[in-house]
Structure 1
Amino acid sequence: MKKLLSMFLVALMIFTVAACSNNENASSEEGGGGGQVTLNFWVFGSTGYQKLIDEYQKENPNVKIKLTEGEMTDIHNNLFTSVSSGSGAPDISMIEVSVMEKFKDASDRFYNLQEYGSDDVAGNFLEWKWKQAQAVDGSFQMGLPTDIGPTAMFYRSDVVEAAGLPTDSDELAAAIDSWDAFYETAKTVKEKTGKPISDSPELVFNAIRDQQEQQYFNEKDELIIEDTVKKSYDFTTKMIKEGYIGQNVLWTPEWGSAMAAGSYAFMPGAPAWMMGVVKGNAPDAGGKWAVTAIPEGAGNWGGSFLTIPKESKHPQEAFDFISWLTSPDNQLKSFLDMGLFPSTPDVYENEEFLATTDEYFSGQETAKIFAEAAKSVKPIYMGKNYAIVNSELVTALTNVATAKADPEKEWKAAVKRIEQQLGRQ
């Protein structure tokens, strides 16, 4: 009997240990037992995040992060398909600001980050950037901000000098401190150099539009383009008709060639990341390009957020990682490593950040210029159909510039196309 009892007790102990082990494994798989957790992470663009992922995994050996990099459109399309079908979404996905409203429309397919601690880190970020990923009533936080694209005004110092204007960035900003002054400067540039002040109608239009507190839609998703947007359009088309703005369309070979040739004086509304575009198109023009402030204030073009789809079984672990990745310290690292401009204003006081210069852009402290721009951006509501409106207005501007079309007829035709498309949404 003693022998049988001993065998029974040993078997019971083995069973108990095995059961505990199985429970620990199950808990680990669900992300709640301190075991190994795997997070699938989708990004687009050149983020350099793998280096930070390696650092995080060393500090958190229970977390494994699988990075998937792709083209922006592909990542967005795959994500939308996945969350719509309820299958195939990652634990974390990057979403660009231009499509954030579209995904916010499906917010029930994402975790509300307020439930995992987003309010505790909200103070790390620029307020306008934070609101771009938040519900209108503030009840839902869709994502944590990564980079931003504050805008400035790039200029060709050789063309500016030939026009008799100051080439110093601060002096030039003081001389062109309003759009009326920009218009008068355009006359001077044309008279002295024979060149337009800018070659892209879209950039001029964008620069003025982005300074407004409202753009294409109000928070009820009603179209509101007949006031400030129309004024931006009218100002731009007036300068086109008078020969002060050229006709190059963004991202075309002609647009890139004009950067190298110095065919114009200013590139207003250019975001921080556009510096790389200029260098790529005009590699031999180093020292001829410089940066100054936009008349009447900056806007923002681009930037992204990190979100957690509802399919993730590890939302807390995912949030812990993205809150670490988007912290001021790590946004500084991303800036120094890959040029991702921080959405965390604490970085703007960092000595290493402020000391950042760019020899191509005349050795200027470019980070400081864009930081000042970032702090002046006004929060706006974009709306899920922003791209529809923007595309049609750009078409109208392009027709005025390239085909000498009548601005008012083009505006009315664009509005009609916009209303037709919105009616089908």
Structure 2
Amino acid sequence: MTLSRRKFLAVGTSAAAAAAAGLTGCGSRSSLGGSNELSMWTWVGSVNDDLISQAEKAIPGYDGMKLAMTRIGTNYKTKVLTALAGKSLVPDIVAINDDVATYFPNADQFHDLFELGAKDLEKDFLPWKWKLGITPENKMMAYPMDTGPTALFYRTDIFTKAGVDIDPAAVAGLAPDWDAYIELGKKLKQAVPGSAITDNIQGVYDYRMAQQPKRYMTADGQYIGDQEHVRQSFDLAVRVVKEGLSANAQNSSDKNAVVTNGKLVAYNAAVWWAQLGPKNAAPKTKGLWRVTAAPGGAGNRGGSFLGITKYCKNPEAAFAFISWLESAKNQAQAFLDPVLFPSTPAAYTDPTLTAPDPFFGGQRIVDVFAESAKKYPGAYFSPYDSIIGTPIGKELVNIEASGKDPDLAWSDAQRQIERELTRAGAI
């Protein structure tokens, strides 16, 4: 399935505009806040409160300007697209999640950050992260915030019971790829019945896809979600389930439970899972966890961006703010709260990040995630990735929860994807 780049962008623009226009009417072009304020929208847990408090008093370098922050709890993306479609009361600055490509059809409503001086700062960031904020037409629409490098989390007490060396380097050597990881999982389960190496089938699929150098579309609009790299990720996830190594936890409460009760003894996951998973769901396991290089290589899942809208009353001040907020020093501070892993490699040697983590037995876990972040090959994310990924995820659940035939599930997913892309005008 292919479409021209011109049609690829035009279709996406129409679809995004239509979706948002259904929620609001057009208004006069205006931004939120007073003349001496830069308004910013983000979601809860996306920025460091102390840094924001500083900017709320005065934008660094722009004493006559200050920040006015709004944290939106639900339906964040819908509210941003609604404001952009209405062209009224639009924030000067918006945070954008890792689905940044779905905003590319609205790129004409954002400043090109290259024109504000971003090119001079490119050297400070991970190259693959920097590229994700640039549209296929070479407009820099989004400025890097955090990343989501992946690694293998594991329980040392369970590994010890299975007679496995718990040293991170030794574990990485035992499971350099997914085949070896499955064999390790079998050994763990034999020693400690019920042990699992993933929360559910989609956990394997998502994290294998997070390691791939390509995803569902090419930059010129060719659909590749039916190719071998996707099918291989799909089949791998099915294999882990058939080997009895999945915890079959399909919702958030169940996912927490399998960490709390010790069933999930190893997990290939992003850096943010340290807080979301064991530290939150199993605080009594403090000291028992370690991390090491993930089987299958470096990956990334998650990470966000900042964009400056066309309605911004002072784009230069806005760029000064976002470039200050996302400096290496300030990204290091944001790693402590709210645990955002930096996109600036210079931060990886900051004492804020390199301190031993007692929860992980005094291990310097930043070293593992920093290597993953630097080695991740990067991949192209298209505006249609969520349309494509959703049917695949649903069919994977059907396999694990209902025993659906994997070949039939794959075929059904591809048929649904074709319908959805046709409806979106992409094919």
Task: Tell me the TM-score range normalised by the shorter chain.
Answer: 0.7 to 0.9
Amino acid at match of 1:220: D
CA distance in 1, matches of 2:144, 2:303: 8
CA distance in 1, matches of 2:385, 2:165: 38
TM-score, normalised via structure 1 length: 0.86
Written as runs of structure 1 = structure 2, the 5 A alignment for 1:13-412 is 37-56=36-55, 57-58=57-58, 59=60, 60-71=62-73, 73-98=74-99, 100-137=100-137, 139-194=138-193, 195-225=195-225, 226-249=227-250, 251-268=251-268, 270-278=269-277, 279-354=279-354, 356-412=355-411
CA distance in 2, matches of 1:182, 1:213: 21
Q: Is 2:38–2:65's contact at 8 Å kept on the other side of the alignment?
A: yes
CA distance in 1, matches of 2:143, 2:396: 35
Per-residue deviation at 1:142?
A: 0.6
Per-residue deviation at 1:285?
A: 2.0
3-state SS of paired residue (2:341)? coil
Alpha-carbon displacement from aligned partner over 1:298-354 (angstroms, at most 9, x marks no partner): 211111111011111211111111111111111112223432111001111334422
3-state SS of paired residue (1:302)? coil
CA distance in 2, matches of 1:259, 1:54: 35
CA distance in 1, matches of 2:404, 2:233: 17
Per-residue deviation at 1:36?
A: 6.6
CA distance in 2, matches of 1:320, 1:247: 47
Per-residue deviation at 1:54?
A: 3.6
Q: Is 2:217–2:381's contact at 8 Å kept on the other side of the alignment?
A: yes
Per-residue deviation at 1:93?
A: 0.5
Alpha-carbon displacement from aligned partner over 1:11-64 (angstroms, at most 9, x marks no partner): xxxxxxxxxxxxxxxxxxx9xxxx972100111132454422343445542111
Per-residue deviation at 1:130?
A: 0.5
CA distance in 1, matches of 2:163, 2:394: 34
Amino acid at match of 1:44: W
Alpha-carbon displacement from aligned partner over 1:111-153 (angstroms, at most 9, x marks no partner): 111111010111111011011110225x210111111111111
Per-residue deviation at 1:109?
A: 0.8
Task: State the partner residue of 1:20.
Answer: none
Per-residue deviation at 1:227?
A: 1.2
Task: State the partner residue of 2:420.
Answer: 421
Per-residue deviation at 1:296?
A: 2.7
CA distance in 2, matches of 1:49, 1:182: 36
CA distance in 2, matches of 1:240, 1:289: 24
Amino acid at match of 1:300: N
CA distance in 2, matches of 1:415, 1:213: 21
Amino acid at match of 1:235: L
Task: Quickly say closer, same or farther: Cα 1:84–1:228, change in 2 above 3 A.
Answer: same
Q: Is 2:247–2:263's contact at 8 Å kept on the other side of the alignment?
A: no
Alpha-carbon displacement from aligned partner over 1:253-292 (angstroms, at most 9, x marks no partner): 2221110111132111x11111111221122222222211
CA distance in 1, matches of 2:338, 2:264: 29
Q: Is 2:214–2:379's contact at 8 Å kept on the other side of the alignment?
A: yes
Runs (5+) with no aligned partner, structure 1: 1-29
Runs (5+) with no aligned partner, structure 2: 1-30
CA distance in 2, matches of 1:272, 1:243: 26
3-state SS of paired residue (2:311)? coil
Aligned residues: 387
Alpha-carbon displacement from aligned partner over 1:187-217 (angstroms, at most 9, x marks no partner): 2223222233333212211222121111111
3-state SS of paired residue (1:415)? helix
Q: Is 2:158–2:265's contact at 8 Å kept on the other side of the alignment?
A: yes
3-state SS of paired residue (1:393)? helix
CA distance in 1, matches of 2:46, 2:264: 32
3-state SS of paired residue (2:42)? strand
3-state SS of paired residue (2:366)? helix
Amino acid at match of 2:44: G
TM-score, normalised via structure 2 length: 0.86
CA distance in 1, matches of 2:129, 2:219: 16
Runs of 4+ in 1 over 6 A off after TM superposition: none
In angstroms, what is the RMSD of aligned CA positions?
Answer: 2.0
CA distance in 2, matches of 1:213, 1:422: 22
CA distance in 2, matches of 1:331, 1:271: 17
Amino acid at match of 1:375: K
CA distance in 1, matches of 2:395, 2:135: 32
The structure with the larger Rg is 1
Provide the identity percentage.
Answer: 33
